[in-house]
Amino acid sequence: MGALAAQVSAVIPCKDEADRIAATVRAVAALPQVGRVVVVDDGSTDDTSRVAREAGADVVRHDRNRGKAAALETGAARVRELERADGQADAVAPVRSALLFVDGDLQETAANLGVLTQAVLDGSADMTIATLPAQITAGGGRGLVVNLARGGIQHLTGFTAVQPLSGMRCVGPRAFDAATPLARGWGVETALTVDVLRAGLTVLEVPCELQHRVSGSDWRGQLHRAGQYRDVWLALVARGWRPWHRG
Ligand SMILES: O=c1ccn([C@@H]2O[C@H](COP(=O)(O)OP(=O)(O)O[C@H]3O[C@H](CO)[C@@H](O)[C@H](O)[C@H]3O)[C@@H](O)[C@H]2O)c(=O)[nH]1
Ligand SMILES: O=C(O)[C@H](O)COP(=O)(O)O
């Protein structure tokens, strides 16, 4: 592994992404900054693990579905385990790489994630967050979850996030420590932003040409949003947000 590639480790949480994960893994692995790609199969009922392994990822599997935040924690722990093993082999103290959190459904567009790493590696930000362009497929949301997350983050930190739910992030070691243990489920991104800012660290949103699978307006999509709303709400309340006290 070259010096540049040792600096970033990708963690890809996945639930039933067998159709998309191979392209995502290959695109991320080809980024010159990325030294490892860890896929966490979060209790998929399809072939996600096998396909990810065949595409070249290190794969860890949850026996049952535990949610995105748990998958990210498992992936981060796996990265540190691999780093410790490397350190022992080389008889040097392990270097903690920055973590690149990547959703499994980005496919080839994950090749554009390199722009997230620069500010973290040069020390000008502790965490970067990708902002996505308009998506080719229209989504079915009304902005309820996004507005909840944006308003809560703003209230708790003063920071206005353009895309507060975006899961594509490059997280430096100090930022990850500040946000650990991660908030559960879909609350993880909102809580990461709050915790990292409250630790006095720097967060930067970076435009990134990504396309992902958007949630529709059918019952499945709305159920998904209800879960997102619950987890974001819980993460904000756990951090002291009290919407019922606002005058
Ligand atoms: O129980 C689960 C469910 C999903 N995933 C994976 O998590 C990623 C994001 O899930 P997805 O269904 O694509 O989320 P979105 O509806 O697109 O959600 C948006 O909002 C989420 C926060 O609510 C963020 O995590 C996402 O990055 C952002 O794209 C994907 O790789 C999934 O396979 C898990 O690991 N475990
Ligand atoms: O579709 C989306 O953008 C997310 O699921 C969030 O939903 P929202 O539109 O209700 O904020």
Ligand 2 pocket: which of 165, 189, 212, 219 to mutate (most atoms <8 Å of CB)? 165
- Judge whether residue 91 has pLDDT over 70: no
Global ipTM: 0.97
Task: Indicate the top mutation candidate among 11, 12, 15, 78 to test ligand 1's pocket, ranked by most ligand atoms within 8 A of CB.
Answer: 15
In DSSP terms, 100 is beta-bridged to: 10, 170
If one counts every other C-beta atom within 10 angstroms of the C-beta of residue 203, the result is: 22
**Residue 73: inside a domain, yes or no?**
yes
Q: What is the per-residue pLDDT across 171-215, written as a single tens digit (0 to 9) for each? A: 999 999 999 999 999 999 999 999 999 999 999 999 999 999 888
**Distance separating alpha carbons of residues 145 and 156, to the nearest angstrom:** 17
* 1, two tokens: 């592994």
Average pLDDT of the segment spanning 61-65: 98
Q: What per-residue confidence (pLDDT) applies to 1?
A: 55
158 located within any domain: no
Query: For the chain, how many structural domains are there in total?
Result: 1
User: What is the arithmetic mean of pLDDT over 99-123?
Assistant: 97
Instruction: Express each pLDDT in 115-148 by its tens digit.
Output: 999 999 999 999 999 999 998 887 778 899 999 9
Q: Report the 10 Å Cβ neighbour count for 53.
A: 17
- Evaluated on CA atoms 11, 121, 3, 112, the torsion sign reads positive
Per-residue model confidence (pLDDT) at position 187: 98
Kindly state whether residue 189 falls inside one of the protein's structural domains.
Answer: yes
- Could you list the residue range(s) of the whole structural domain that residue 62 is in? 5-136+164-215
Secondary structure (3-state) at 93: coil
CA-CA distance, 100 to 38, in Å (whole number)? 10
User: Please, is 97 exposed, middle or buried when counting C-beta atoms within 10 Å of its C-beta (0-12, 13-18, 19+)?
Assistant: buried
- Give residue 182's identity as a one-letter amino acid code: L
Q: What is the mean pLDDT of residues 100-108?
A: 98
List all residues whose CB is within 6 A of at least one atom of ligand 2.
139, 141-146, 214-215, 225, 228
pLDDT given at position 86:
85
The verdict on residue 94 lying in a domain is yes
Classify residue 227: in a domain, yes or no.
Answer: no
Residue 228 lies in a domain: no
Kindly report the CATH number assigned to the domain that includes residue 44.
3.90.550.10
pLDDT at site 214? 87
Percentage of residues of the chain with pLDDT beyond 70:
96
Nearest atom within ligand 1 for CA of residue 14: 33
| Residue 142 or residue 238, greater confidence | 238
State the chain's mean pLDDT as an integer: 94
Q: Is the pLDDT of residue 72 over 90?
A: yes
- pLDDT (0 to 100) of residue 5: 57
Per-residue model confidence as pLDDT tens digits over 13-47: 999 999 999 999 999 999 999 999 999 999 999 99
